[in-house]
Structure 1
Amino acid sequence: MIMATAFVTPDPLAATLSRTSAALARPKAAQAGREDIAMIKAAASLTRDLHAARPIVYWTDLIASAGLGYAGMAVAIVATPVWAKLLGAVVAVLALYRALSFIHELSHMKPNAVRGFTAGWNILFGVPVMMPSLMYEGVHTLHHAKTRYGTNRDPEYMPLARGPAATLAIFVLVSALLPIGLILRYGVLAPLSLLSPKLREIVVTRYSALAINPQFRRKPPEGAALRSWRIWETAASIWAISFVVLTATGVFPLAASLTFLAIVSAIAVLNQVRTLVAHLWENEGDAMSITDQYLDSVNVPPPGLLAEIWAPVGLRYHALHHLLPGLPYHALPEAHRRLTGELGDGSSYHHANYSTLSGLIVNLVKACRKAVRG
């Protein structure tokens, strides 16, 4: 998934993340790139009736998340007691983080599956936070291409666990600079690039993707994608320039602007932590089978409740999403229930399930240390 630091975000080298809740060995069918055909067939057959997106769910969730988030931000800006400011900031971060997570749904959504949702998301969140959907659309789906996943052509993969553990901390901390990067991208580089075709090429190919592979270069958009790109890039640029000018002239109080930037920064850090445990990051560039791609990904299913906060909008079922990328987020819990009940303990399906965020992070750190020791 979803994004990382700024435009192209680094994800260091693959991770051995040992299983947390059930320390189960991988099924033999997956160890040599072979497919767990039974799991793949069951996933397809048991979920045929779950692929329709429900607009009422999408719109209600997005509007409620954005509304609660901006209300929390307002409290963080105007409240006098420190505790009220902090409470408002926490509410803003968590609610707007959930709103942000819908960018992942946008990248998979079929045209008009939820009419007007892309525009609505950009208006409610993408443009105000200077992170329009163009940063993810046309990029994230490459991560799901069977021949790209885990290779150097995957925009969202680098083998994290083959490097030192300190790299993981850098990976997370650098995401705090996201709001500065977005202001530079949309408030400075976007307008300047109109004057220089060479700069424009750099901005489009290198600074217009929420990716984690620094080698990734995106292709320029065409057709309808180009028209959409122009609309939302222009809107984000106008807002970025206005934000800087209004803050510099005192129309926006400096404290209010800094609070806004701090909340966006915290959202980016939270998302980066989630990205850190979205996969095991074990692959070092070779093409992988569908089963191995699934096993390199992470589910954090119920009964735990915290995962719904740090991995919202279906992201707690990230491995299942890699198995069924076209399934809308609200259908993933039911799909997981069906597959869990249908597939026995010997199935690969159960080997991508974990219990806690902390356990995943600890295992990732251990994997890095083991790799460094050789």
Structure 2
Amino acid sequence: MNSSIALDLREATAPAAPATRAAAGRIADDKAMLRAAAEIARDLHKARPLVYWADTLASVVIGYGALALAIMLSSPGLALLAGLVAVLALYRAGSFIHEITHMKHSNVPGYRLGWNLLVGVPLMVPSFMYEGVHNLHHARTRYGTVEDPEYLPLALMKPWSLPLFVLIAALAPVGLLIRYALLAPLSLVVPALRKPVVERYSGLVINPSFRRRPAEGAARTQWLWQEAATSVWAIALIGLTVAGIIPLRAFAIFLVVIGTITVINQVRTLVAHLWENEGEAMTVTAQYLDSVNVPPPALLPALWAPVGLRYHALHHLLPSVPYHNLGIAHRRLTAMVEQDSPYHKASYKGLPGLVSQLAKSTMGVRR
């Protein structure tokens, strides 16, 4: 679902540090770092199917089991605790959509199908909403530009844009139900509706200017069956609730869990980059420095940035390395590069400091 803020949130000028921000895209590539990254990752590109399946299935079992408990338990305290476990486990399961976008599917046979049946369709975020979109964010000449579906210069926007950016994510469950229970079937009988549905409401993006192109070939086949399955699920969910077969309380808890997952992911997105580029093309090193790693010893990032997302900056250097090898890659690179290497400059301690830094940037406070 297009969760972008379709408002004019840009500041005309960032008064405190215009020179630094203007130069962000012109940072020269650090060839030593790029060579080191390529060298240490030569044996790290192969995905391990057992890891993917075990991690996903464990997250799914725990997540749906905890969701069932949250619905059935009469004690508010215990139900809340079960709901929290459901949110964290299903958030982890859902985060594998990022891996699906980057993986060579023949290396993990059947995984995309299994993930969509277990996670994508039930949570109304089938993988077609990310495949064919997220890869544009990694395109060398698109990152940080108006053609990047996953970039907004948030650091240059008005201060109130940040809480709005997060709070709007809470509406995602309603938006997803509208997308699949209403717009998808309507677009089959109203051809004029199909174009905006495809362009604006078929991608997990944050850039309101982005318009998606229709998929072709095998990607179109994937899109159609996933969309159809999710539409049937959304219609059934609403219909069974209206008929009283699914209790309204259960339906509400399910939507609250999805909404909470979306809000957490939106907060993670908020600190995945520094968001300081104003639209010019950036070098690979500049893209890396505009991105964020939150490596160990911090523990909480394992919860709010799971499935390798805590190494987001490193992922921009090595997008084809599977999540289970990113920790190894980070340790190798940390030991290999010099102390003054740009590689160390993308590592941060945790969420509070990153949010504070971004908030200060929107208020024109120099870091």
TM range (shorter): over 0.9
Per-residue deviation, 1:10: 3.3
Does structure 1 residue 217 correspond to structure 2 residue 214? no
Whether the 8 Å CA contact 2:25–2:282 is kept in 1: the answer is: no
Residue in structure 1 matched with residue 2 of structure 2 by the alignment: 7
Residue in structure 2 matched with residue 120 of structure 1 by the alignment: 114
Query: Separation in 2 of the partners of 1:329 and 1:9?
Result: 26
Residue in structure 2 matched with residue 365 of structure 1 by the alignment: 359
Whether the 8 Å CA contact 1:173–1:269 is kept in 2: the answer is: yes
Please give the per-residue CA displacement for 1:284-339, whole angstroms capped at 9, x wherever unaligned: 00000000000000000000110100000000000000000000000000000000
> What are the residue-to-residue correspondences of 1:163-202 with 2, within 5 Å?
163-202=157-196
Query: Separation in 2 of the partners of 1:31 and 1:73?
Result: 45
**Secondary structure of the equivalent of 1:370?**
coil
Whether the 8 Å CA contact 2:294–2:347 is kept in 1: the answer is: yes
- Structure 1 residues 30 and 198: CA distance shift in structure 2, 3 A: closer
Per-residue deviation, 1:31: 7.7
Query: Separation in 1 of the partners of 2:165 and 2:3?
Result: 12
Which structure 2 residue ranges, 5 or more long, are not aligned?
15-19
Whether the 8 Å CA contact 1:108–1:325 is kept in 2: the answer is: yes
Residue type matched to 1:88 in 2? A
Does structure 1 residue 160 correspond to structure 2 residue 154? yes
Whether the 8 Å CA contact 1:132–1:236 is kept in 2: the answer is: yes
Which structure 1 residue ranges, 5 or more long, are not aligned?
1-5, 17-25
Count of paired positions: 356
**TM-score w.r.t. length of structure 2:** 0.94
Per-residue deviation, 1:166: 1.2
Q: Out of 269, 274, 277, which is 1:275 matched to?
A: 269
Residue type matched to 2:271 in 1? V
Please give the per-residue CA displacement for 1:99-131, whole angstroms capped at 9, x wherever unaligned: 110000011011312111101110111101111
Per-residue deviation, 1:30: 7.8
Does structure 1 residue 143 correspond to structure 2 residue 137? yes
Per-residue deviation, 1:82: 1.1
Whether the 8 Å CA contact 1:298–1:318 is kept in 2: the answer is: yes
Whether the 8 Å CA contact 1:146–1:289 is kept in 2: the answer is: yes
Runs of 4+ in 1 over 2 A off after TM superposition: 10-14, 29-33
CA RMSD of aligned residues (A): 1.8
Percentage identity across aligned positions?
A: 57
Query: Separation in 2 of the partners of 1:180 and 1:133?
Result: 19
Whether the 8 Å CA contact 1:177–1:265 is kept in 2: the answer is: yes
Please give the per-residue CA displacement for 1:222-277, whole angstroms capped at 9, x wherever unaligned: 00011111111110000000001000010000000000000000000000000000
Per-residue deviation, 1:215: 0.4
Whether the 8 Å CA contact 2:334–2:344 is kept in 1: the answer is: yes
**TM-score w.r.t. length of structure 1:** 0.92
Does structure 1 residue 263 correspond to structure 2 residue 260? no
